[in-house]
């Protein structure tokens, strides 16, 4: 059986029902529904051939070419579908809900699958994603200068049952010049948005959703404007830690990274850091004086963070003092503060 579903109903499908994206590998790599599996009807080159035929000769010759190209592949498509959906229940979509997904749905239905076909395809899904960032959310922002352990505290809040979205994890970047940690590879902007929208959709809109205080960019990825505007207007719990606690935290986090990576990243911010501070920071890296390196770059990062914080409404920023970088204890302090002050 084939059921045509609107995007509103498609995203409500039970989590046990996998989604097959039948677009090309290149389209899938650019962006896809979170958790979807790629079963491409055409290769990248084959899609170009079909598209060219459609433009030059028309719809019917393009359809015939499509069948010629996929003729020997259909048993393989069905086997792939069985691997991801052994219960024979599967969601299917292509770019616009046209011939590619229609053909795949027909074949899977013929084999005995229950097929849930997305009307309007991935194009409709992307509209849903972008619209989701303009919906109202009950955001709570965890702030604090670099080295305050904000991300780890968010993880502890999640363990305590709070709703948390880790933007840096979604963006695969820790937000500074050094944010790739010499290993992280960022998703496309499109995929970052898709994954973020999926987490927002799953959240209870009446409860707080905790986010880390970020600039609008995380590495090369942009926080969508609608959500960013809400983040700037939200309540901020700003952690205050002693400088040396932050230095110790950052030495532990960055001190083991490759020296050439650290030097290259430091050189990228020399205009903001200043020539003298840049020189001192690089020398400290070369001489394994990681604490001195951290103190040198914190001059820039602390100034930048203070500037950003000063642009918020003063009544929206609450200072929370923490004695050291014990993230478990600091998460508990944050929760106690919330309960005592009844922040909404």
| Torsion sign over Cα 150, 197, 173, 224 | negative
Angle at 225 between CA 118 and CA 20, to 5 degrees: 20
Cβ atoms within 10 Å, residue 131: 12
From 33, 94, 197, 281, the catalytic residue? 94
Integer Cα distance of 7 and 233 in angstroms: 30
Nearest one of 29, 31, 32, 36 to 15, comparing CA atoms: 36
DSSP state of 88: S
216: Cβ contacts below 8 Å, ≥ 6 apart: 222, 223, 228
Integer Cα distance of 100 and 69 in angstroms: 12
Cβ atoms within 10 Å, residue 28: 19
Catalytic site residue 265? no
- Active site (catalytic) residues: 94
């Amino acid at each position: 059986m084939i059921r045509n579903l609107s995007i509103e109903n498609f995203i409500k499908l039970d989590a046990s029902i996998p989604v097959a994206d039948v677009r090309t590998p290149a389209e899938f790599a650019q962006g896809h529904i979170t958790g979807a599996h790629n079963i491409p009807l055409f290769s990248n080159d084959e899609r170009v051939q079909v598209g060219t035929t459609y433009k030059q000769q028309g719809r019917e010759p393009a359809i015939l070419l499509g069948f010629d190209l996929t003729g020997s592949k259909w048993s393989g498509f069905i086997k792939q579908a069985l691997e991801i959906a052994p219960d024979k229940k599967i969601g299917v979509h292509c770019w616009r809900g046209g011939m590619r997904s229609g053909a795949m749905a027909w074949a899977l239905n013929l084999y005995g699958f229950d097929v849930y076909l997305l009307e309007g395809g991935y194009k409709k899904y992307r509209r849903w994603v972008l619209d989701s960032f303009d919906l109202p959310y009950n955001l709570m922002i965890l702030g604090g200068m670099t080295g305050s352990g904000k991300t780890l505290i968010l993880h502890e809040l999640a363990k305590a049952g709070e709703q948390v979205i880790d933007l840096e994890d979604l963006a695969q970047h820790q937000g500074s010049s050094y944010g790739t940690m010499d290993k992280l590879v960022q998703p496309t902007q499109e995929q970052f948005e898709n994954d973020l929208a999926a987490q927002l959709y799953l959240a209870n809109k009446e409860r707080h959703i905790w986010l880390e205080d970020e600039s609008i960019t995380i590495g090369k990825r942009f926080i969508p404007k609608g959500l960013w505007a809400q983040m700037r207007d939200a309540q901020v719990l700003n952690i205050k830690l002693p400088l040396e606690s932050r230095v110790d935290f950052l030495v532990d986090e960055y001190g083991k990274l490759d020296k050439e990576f650290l030097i290259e990243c430091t050189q990228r911010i020399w205009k903001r850091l200043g020539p003298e501070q840049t020189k001192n920071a690089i020398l400290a890296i070369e001489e394994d004086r990681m604490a001195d390196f951290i103190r040198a770059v914190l001059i820039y990062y602390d100034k930048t963070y203070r500037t950003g914080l000063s642009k918020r409404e003063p009544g929206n920023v609450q200072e929370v003092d923490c004695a050291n970088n014990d993230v478990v204890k600091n998460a508990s302090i944050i929760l106690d503060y919330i309960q005592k002050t009844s922040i909404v």
